[in-house]
Amino acid sequence: MMAENFSLLALLLSLLYLTALGCIYRILLSYRTAQGAIAWILALIGLPYVAVPLFLIFGRYRFGGYVKVRRMGHQSINPLLDQFENQDTSIPGEDHTHFTDELQVLCKLGRQPFTSGNRCTLLRDGEATFEALFEAMEDARHYILLEFYIVRSDRVGQRIKTILERKLAQGVEVWLIYDNIGSALLSRKWRRELAAAGARIASFGDGNIRRRRFQINFRNHRKLLVCDGSVGFVGGINLGDEYLGTAMDQEPWRDTHCRIEGPAVIGLQLAWLEDWNWASSERPQLEWSPAATPPGDEEVLILPTGPADTWETCTLFFLNCINNARHRIWLASPYFVPDFQIMNALQLAALRGVDVRILIPEKSDSPLVRLAAYSYLVNASQAGIGIYRYQPGFMHQKVVLVDDRYAAVGTANLDNRSMRLNFEIMAINTNPAFIGQVDTMLKDDLRHCRRMSESDYQDRSIAFRLACRAARLLGPLL
């Protein structure tokens, strides 16, 4: 009996170490940084029973299943991209003197063009955003496309479901993608009733069932709505009551969203379609021709990023913004856990005289992220980077302002998840009036901020500083 148990144990250990060797093989073929690769390899050799399951869940940084589906879907999506690039409102860089190499790089990263003829409305809180979302859905005549990281079946969720059911009864098609991790609390009843009314609903995590269990680390963090291909929304607000910040026991919620009318909405629609192509085999019939009369005069680029991209698109987006800033780079993000590339770029920008300001919340929904942010204070302060903590409540907006040349609103944070693991999306606008609105908004936010100093970290206890440094070590997972 003992011999049989020993043989079984030996077999299990052999399988465990063979799996660990397989993980090491994958690391050596595709590692991103030497430090991360060495850490994983040491863990897999020394503690394989812990490291192997962790690596299978958290160790991969390319969304392999999505990449394959993207390649298969290109046969139908590529013609739409070509049509989008060649339409009259798409801007060829060489014909516009203000359209610099910096902006052309962003087009290449997003595989989309800047478009002219747009009109954007800045939405500065949950109440204004939801009112605009509700109105756009009520006005839809043909179809409504939704994609949100978090969808709840609370009051906001019920209001949206009621509107969608009414629109379905009027013959409007509804297509919804939600993230199965972010929307884990979304009730089955909510989904079942909306599907029974005729909506097509897909969970992003269920797109490839064979790989689902090993890719829960990849999340669709996008938040967008498209109605009839002519009106779209993108920003930091999900579909839930907390984004109103009205609950008795809840801190005020500070967030930013953007309403877009015009040809750039086609860019949102293309990003949605590629995600739907992964999540479901159904293909909706959508409008791909912009209105004959553009609603505005703003130039806008939609920049989708994610772990299925050829490059680390989100990282390159932020590096491009920081490295090309001439006078100022202001960044608002609820999660500030930058890697060494981003931190070095911020330091260099500050050292060359750029006004670098990082807006983060005083109160965070992640204690580890809050602690990790303190560990950057010394290097930031010494370089002249201003880190400002927003005081009144939880600040969740994701906004970038580069000089007076362009502003971006979307879903990407200054952390590893957004840079490498999540599917994100940003709307970049070069219009002076819109940039002025973002400037005014961030200046209002800064008046409610406290600038942090080196002493906020150095004067704290040894235990606190150790906790901050330990939390920073978990940066790749936060």
CB count in 10 Å sphere of residue 15: 11
SS3 306: coil
The one-letter code for the residue type at 181 is I
For β-strands 253-254 and 394-395, DSSP reports them as: parallel
Torsion over CA: 183, 188, 191, 195 (sign):
positive
259's CB contacts (< 8 A; 6+ apart) are: 120, 121, 123, 132, 136, 231, 232, 233
Phi and psi based region of residue 198 (left: phi greater than 0; alpha: psi -120 to 50; beta: remaining): left
Q: Compute φ and ψ for 50, nearest 5 degrees.
A: -95, -45
From the number of C-beta atoms within 10 Å of its C-beta (0-12, 13-18, 19+), residue 449 rates as buried
From the number of C-beta atoms within 10 Å of its C-beta (0-12, 13-18, 19+), residue 71 rates as exposed
Torsion of CA 440, 445, 448, 453, to 10 degrees: -110
C-alpha distances out from residue 235 to 294, 319, 451, Å? 22, 20, 25
The one-letter code for the residue type at 173 is E
From the number of C-beta atoms within 10 Å of its C-beta (0-12, 13-18, 19+), residue 409 rates as buried
- Name the residue with tokens 């936060």: 478
As annotated, the active-site residues are: 221, 223, 228, 396, 398, 403
Torsion over CA: 427, 429, 434, 438 (sign):
positive
H helix runs in 355-461, sequence order: 367-374, 377-383, 416, 432-446, 455-458
